[in-house]
């Protein structure tokens, strides 16, 4: 069994989540990438982006779940991440069906980890 633990900070997790969201429709818009870049410095962004690009969907979800659990985020922090994801999905003016499905799935992962 693989180890999906990370040493990410909350900001790293946020950047990774937003990259995951940006890829929901397989197109990273400049607006979406600017949102991601606003979460971390340039070196951290490049590191997180390289890691994201190397991960498959299963690995991404496992890393997100494990990191949310490890960080033991408060309800307020989780709601903040959910709001950031929603903002990213609306950054290009469209909230496509694929994006909606990813949003619902990630929101479920984030909120279930708090219980």
Please give the residue range of the domain that contains residue 70: 10-113
* pLDDT at site 8: 95
Distances (CA, A) of 102 to 9, 26, 107: 22, 12, 8
**Residue 3 placed within a domain:** no
Whether pTM exceeds 0.85 = yes
Average pLDDT along the chain: 89
* Residue linked to tokens 């959910």: 82
* pLDDT at site 25: 83
Q: What is the pLDDT of residues 39-80, one digit of tens each?
A: 889 999 999 999 999 999 999 999 999 999 999 999 999 999
**Residue 4 placed within a domain:** no
Domain count of the chain? 1
**Residue 16 placed within a domain:** yes
Contacts of 10 (CB under 8 A, 6+ apart): 71, 73, 77
* pLDDT at site 2: 66
Asked whether the predicted pLDDT for residue 11 surpasses 50, the reply is: yes
**Residue 83 placed within a domain:** yes
**Residue 103 placed within a domain:** yes
Q: CB-based burial of residue 42 (10 Å sphere; 0-12 exposed, 13-18 middle, 19+ buried)?
A: exposed
């Amino acid at each position: 069994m693989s180890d999906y633990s990370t040493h990410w900070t909350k900001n790293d997790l946020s950047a990774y989540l937003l990259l995951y969201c940006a890829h929901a429709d397989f197109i990273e818009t400049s607006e979406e990438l600017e949102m991601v870049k606003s979460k971390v410095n340039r070196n951290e962004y490049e590191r997180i982006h390289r890691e994201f690009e190397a991960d498959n969907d299963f690995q991404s979800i496992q890393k997100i779940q494990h990191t949310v659990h490890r960080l033991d985020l408060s309800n307020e922090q989780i709601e903040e991440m959910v709001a950031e994801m929603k903002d990213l999905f609306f950054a290009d003016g469209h909230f496509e069906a694929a994006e909606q499905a990813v949003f619902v799935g990630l929101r479920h992962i984030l909120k279930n980890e708090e219980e």
